Amino acid sequence: MAVPDAILDKIPHLPESPGVYLWRDAEGKVLYVGKAKRLRSRVRNYINSDHRESAKTYLLMAQARELDTIVVPSEAHALILEANLIKEYKPRFNIALRDDKSYPYIKVTVHEPFPRVWVTRRVLNDGSRYFGPYTDVGAMRRSLDVVKRLFTVRSCNYDMPGQMPDRPCLDYHIGRCKAPCILAQSQGEYGAMIDEVLDFLSGKPDEVVRKIRERMALAAESLDFERAANLRDVLAHLEKMEEPTVVALREGGDRDVVGYARDGEEAVIALLRIRGGKLLARDHQYIDNVVDEADADVIETYLAGPYRLLNERAQELLIPFELTDRSIIEESLERTKLHVPQRGPRRDLVDLAQQNARHLLEEARLTGDEPTEERAGDPVYELQRQLGLQKVPRSFVCFDISHAQGTDTVASCVWFQNGRPYRAEYRKFKVKTVEGIDDFASMNEVVGRYFQRRLEEKRALPDLVLIDGGKGQLNAAADAMKALGLEALPIASLAKREEEIFLLGRSESLRLPRRSPALRMLQQARDEAHRFAITFQRKRRAVRTITSDLLRIPGVGDNKRRLLLTAFGSIQAVRDATPEQIAAVPGFSIKSAQKILDGLRTTDVLAPGLPAATTEVPVHPPHDTTTS
């Protein structure tokens, strides 16, 4: 059957990541909602099959004219979102679920003096803490049972302390409860235990796991192996417990969420519509001609225009960063209030909107007039945001200097494309104009030579230049680029000791969180440049060390040295050879062979403390092909 070109053009550029896809008819009505572990592969299956074995799918594809996709962090999120969208749109080709069951939550009655923990499918505004929803109900119940055993949470329904039994139940006698009902456990002790439960359910299990390991070790030391084995099993269950999803909020409510992505003159705004605490739809707006415009101004223009004119707006609007004229925008939106969440479920929703905005921007770029081969990863966009770059640093280079106490000074340049090493563009340099230890002058020379050659050869320039070092190396590299008219090219340096990022024109350094994906990507580039430089430097030093003894002998030049190393493989092998064996090499006689052996013995006497140079000439790895 014929598939619209708009769908065929979109499919090759879908991400291989979890998400939800929606097939629509010519009028935009949703025909089918599906989830996918890998969006591109799943949607492509619809196109590559004639579906003769399934009348329903055949009819679906016959009517499909549009395709929408929503990217989510994991398969569990896709499962929840699929259920929400099916309930919202009631698509014709989806299975009709007549019951209205929802995914379960774990409820902690923190408003009670002695809280309880159980599973529920109803979320009420009763002061309790709700965790979820969870997609694997069986695994959740097993994990909850382990939590109750570990933390001895009470399972009774007494309204304590108003209702107190005369004696404890069976759970106390078998060690599953410490009987707060008869005050065998104080309210303070019980509350501290509940705090541990809340920490774990909130996604902070490290402290709980540490305490379990300590108890397991103490049980083993006291030879209570049954208790230790039980704690080991508890630990295994806790580590497998599924995390709550961000696709539905526990407190419910209606809200709109703005995600924003930008690349040069193009920008995309993604709008997630949350209704009743559930993600139900995603809208988007492409924006052009944003060169020299601040990101806050772009979002303000969207909010004051297309968003303000929407027929339905939520009372709460989540935005990714603070705006310049926030009060004016709020006034124009009347009942809608703006919030910039920093952490928690609302921040998770903003991050999800950001991810969808990046997905849309990449999709537009990949299907444009100058398509790229690969999507830029999320760390690349985070780096753009952290450094305040107008253009996404899809490609960036990193320079490093290496020397051995002032000798054999070399440099390296590694290229990263879309967050990954691109070894075809690696370059290495011998520093030619600098004597001794001077990293600043060496960096200035190498950066100048690199960009001079790329300009002469009319090769593509990177979107960002990264320097291994501090302010001194940064300024030296910037001076070299300025001399070539490249002062507009973004440049930064990464200092290793404190992992500080220095930017031109900023007196204070920038420090990213240690777990930041953008920082990890920069560290990877810095470490790769260091590895590449020091490998090249060691090779040069090894060759010089290997051949220096031979070159000291009168009458032995580069040609004869090369013949000897080719024939024997190493200096030590030449030392161990007889005059006859050396004379068998073309170009040598018994007399010259004896002269070489005498010369090597003289070298050993002059430097008796040095080890014999037995290392063979190293072989270059496949990507070490270009020397500037």
Domain boundary among 143, 176, 205: 205
Residue of 151 and 613 predicted with greater confidence: 151
> Do residues 428 and 521 share a domain?
yes
Q: Judging by DSSP bridges, how do beta strands 105-108 and 117-120 pair with one another? A: antiparallel
pLDDT above 50 for 613: no
pLDDT above 80 for 578: yes
Is 32 part of a structural domain of the chain? yes
CA atoms of 379 and 295, how far apart (whole Å): 19
Confidence of residue 96 (pLDDT cuts 50, 70, 90): low
The DSSP annotation for 34-84 comes to EEESSHHHHHHHHHS---TT-HHHHHHHHH--EEEEEE-SSHHHHHHHHHH
The domain total for the chain is: 5
Is 374 part of a structural domain of the chain? no
> Do residues 195 and 285 share a domain?
no
The mean pLDDT value for 221-240 works out to 77
Confidence of residue 617 (pLDDT cuts 50, 70, 90): very low
> Do residues 76 and 127 share a domain?
no
Whole-number Cα distances in Å, 87 to 90, 98, 100, 101, 281: 6, 10, 9, 11, 12
The mean pLDDT value for 68-82 works out to 81
The mean pLDDT value for 346-374 works out to 77
Tell me what percent of the residues of the chain surpass a pLDDT of 90: 18
The mean pLDDT value for 82-99 works out to 72
CA atoms of 195 and 129, how far apart (whole Å): 12
Confidence of residue 99 (pLDDT cuts 50, 70, 90): very low
CA atoms of 586 and 573, how far apart (whole Å): 17
Nearest C-alpha neighbor of 249 from the set 347, 176, 382: 347
* H-helix or E-strand spanning residue 455: helix 439-456
pLDDT above 70 for 586: yes
Domain boundary among 366, 395, 425: 366
> Do residues 111 and 192 share a domain?
yes
CA atoms of 246 and 79, how far apart (whole Å): 12
Confidence of residue 623 (pLDDT cuts 50, 70, 90): very low
- 3-class DSSP assignment, residue 580: helix
The mean pLDDT value for 528-552 works out to 74
Is 376 part of a structural domain of the chain? no
> Do residues 68 and 192 share a domain?
no
Mean pLDDT of the chain: 81
Task: Determine contact, residues 155/171, Cβ cutoff 8 Å.
Answer: yes
> Do residues 326 and 468 share a domain?
no
CA atoms of 419 and 444, how far apart (whole Å): 26
CA atoms of 437 and 443, how far apart (whole Å): 11
Tell me what percent of the residues of the chain surpass a pLDDT of 70: 83
CA atoms of 136 and 157, how far apart (whole Å): 26
Q: Which amino acid is at 504?
A: L
Which of 242-251, 267-276, 389-398, 574-583 shows the lowest mean pLDDT across its residues?
242-251
> Do residues 85 and 137 share a domain?
no
pLDDT above 60 for 612: no
pLDDT above 80 for 549: no
Q: State the pLDDT at residue 493.
A: 93
CA atoms of 413 and 533, how far apart (whole Å): 8
> Do residues 334 and 416 share a domain?
no
Q: State the pLDDT at residue 507.
A: 80
The 10s digit of each residue's pLDDT in 237-280 is 666 554 444 455 555 678 899 999 888 778 889 998 887 777 77
Task: Determine contact, residues 191/154, Cβ cutoff 8 Å.
Answer: no
Token pair for 177: 């409860």
Q: State the pLDDT at residue 551.
A: 62
The mean pLDDT value for 404-415 works out to 82
Orientation angle between helical segments 345-366 and 378-387, nearest 10 degrees:
110
Q: State the pLDDT at residue 183.
A: 86
- 3-class DSSP assignment, residue 547: helix
The enclosing domain of 308 has a CATH number of: 3.30.420.10
> Do residues 386 and 476 share a domain?
yes
- Full domain range(s) for residue 136: 105-205
Confidence of residue 93 (pLDDT cuts 50, 70, 90): confident
> Do residues 392 and 349 share a domain?
no
pLDDT above 90 for 620: no
Q: State the pLDDT at residue 522.
A: 93
Is 510 part of a structural domain of the chain? yes
pLDDT above 70 for 308: yes
Q: State the pLDDT at residue 524.
A: 92
Q: Is the peptide bond before 133 cis (omega within 30 degrees of 0)?
A: yes
Nearest C-alpha neighbor of 579 from the set 600, 562, 558, 561: 600
The enclosing domain of 570 has a CATH number of: 1.10.150.20
CA 375 from chain center: how many Å?
A: 13
Residue of 16 and 414 predicted with greater confidence: 414
> Do residues 111 and 194 share a domain?
yes
3-state secondary structure 463-513: CEEEEECCHHHHHHHHHHHHHCCCCCCCEEEEECCCCEEEECCCCCCECCC
Residue 19's DSSP bridge partners are: 36, 71
Residue of 179 and 208 predicted with greater confidence: 179
Is 466 part of a structural domain of the chain? yes
The 10s digit of each residue's pLDDT in 466-523 is 999 889 999 999 999 999 999 889 999 998 878 899 998 788 889 888 888 899 999 9
